[in-house]
Amino acid sequence: MADDRLRKFVLDWYIYIVLVVFWIVSSSISPFFRTMSTFSTIFVSAVPIALVGLGQTFVVLSRGFDLSVGVVASLATAIASVTMHWGIGPSIGLILVVSCAIGMINGLGVSKLGIDSFIMTLGMMFLLTGVTLLIRPSPGGFIPVNFKRFLLYQVGEFPLVPVLILFLTGCVGVLVLQKRRFGREIYAVGGDPESAKMSGVDVDRTRIKVFMVSALSAACAGLFVSARIGSGNAEAGAPYLFDSFTAVFMGGTLVTGGIGGYRGTIASALIIASIGHILQFLGITIWYHFIVKGLLLAGVAGLQLFVVSRERNR
């Protein structure tokens, strides 16, 4: 019995074990890593990844892919950079409305038109990339200082607001998926969409909601990034597309949907954010982190499948 509980614990929390081990190993290798300032930067870098990861987790769980998250984030920075001089509130409002609309269109295409989510969001991605470039052909624009200061507010070395955002996102993500009807319906739709439909789940509505969540969270990520870089940039969101998938898959959500959750995603976000730093401190050029990220993704995903198939055969 204790053996089973241990096994279950490891399966659920393995990514946190990886994270902690990673931090411990990094800290012992490099004195620079051990500083508060490093961890502070890690947390701050992790916020946008965690945010796009939230939306992507929902989408992948429902058996889909959202390729438009990167460009939605970029679009958010672009819109922010040209509208924030009217006022932070209206600007944010506009961004949220636009991203809701984008999500809804994605969701409608996937559910009502039956378009494969990969293709639908691919098309949307192309479309929005063009739009973003039209709004913001080169980096620039205006992001109010208050906005920056608020989102990056630190107490001493500790990045209070970013960590708060991480915490809140984590709570929302995990609780909605585990304890709200919407969340359970996502698992149903991803696990067996035909059965879900037969059992009375409104599969179409669930899918639409899922893509709306994805676009919204990507927009929030974009807002945070705009605060960080202090401007709008059509390429700002691009890295987050692949990072979102990396975070989702590393975090234990299966690409086939129906299994996984946000708990792992958020830890993966922290790992991804940490990788760049440790390599920097080791004197390795920042580009190596690509390789490490790639290997990590393949390795963890493979391990995950191996374990899942072992579990299934018990």
Instruction: Identify residues 8-47 at the interface with other proteins (CB under 8 A).
Output: none
* Residue 112 touches other proteins, criterion: CB under 8 A: yes
Are the C-beta atoms of residues 163 and 44 closer than 8 Å to each other? no
**Nearer residue to other proteins within complex by CB, 51 or 92:** 51
C-alpha triplet 251, 257, 260: angle, nearest 5°: 35
Within 282-301, the residues that bind other proteins by CB under 8 A are 285, 287-295, 297-298, 301
Q: Which two tokens stand for residue 194?
A: 């035909």
Q: Interhelix angle for 160-179 vs 262-281, to 10°?
A: 150
**Among 130, 145, 149, 282, contact with other proteins (rule: CB under 8 A):** 130
Using the structure block, give the residue that is written with the tokens 């809701």.
100
Map residues 133-162 to x or -, x wherever contact with other proteins holds by CB under 8 A: xx--x-------------------------
Q: For residues 152 and 133, give the distance between their C-alpha atoms in angstroms, rounded to a whole number.
A: 27
**Nearer residue to other proteins within complex by CB, 143 or 272:** 272
**Among 48, 103, 159, 258, contact with other proteins (rule: CB under 8 A):** 258
- 232, HSE (Cβ side, Cα atoms, 13 Å): 29
* Residue 4 touches other proteins, criterion: CB under 8 A: no
**Among 88, 96, 229, 238, contact with other proteins (rule: CB under 8 A):** 238
**Nearer residue to other proteins within complex by CB, 94 or 301:** 301
Within 68-87, the residues that bind other proteins by CB under 8 A are 70
**Nearer residue to other proteins within complex by CB, 36 or 119:** 119
Are the C-beta atoms of residues 217 and 54 closer than 8 Å to each other? yes
The answer for 30, left when phi > 0, alpha when psi is -120 to 50, beta otherwise, is beta
* Residue 172 touches other proteins, criterion: CB under 8 A: no
Q: For residues 109 and 277, give the distance between their C-alpha atoms in angstroms, rounded to a whole number.
A: 40
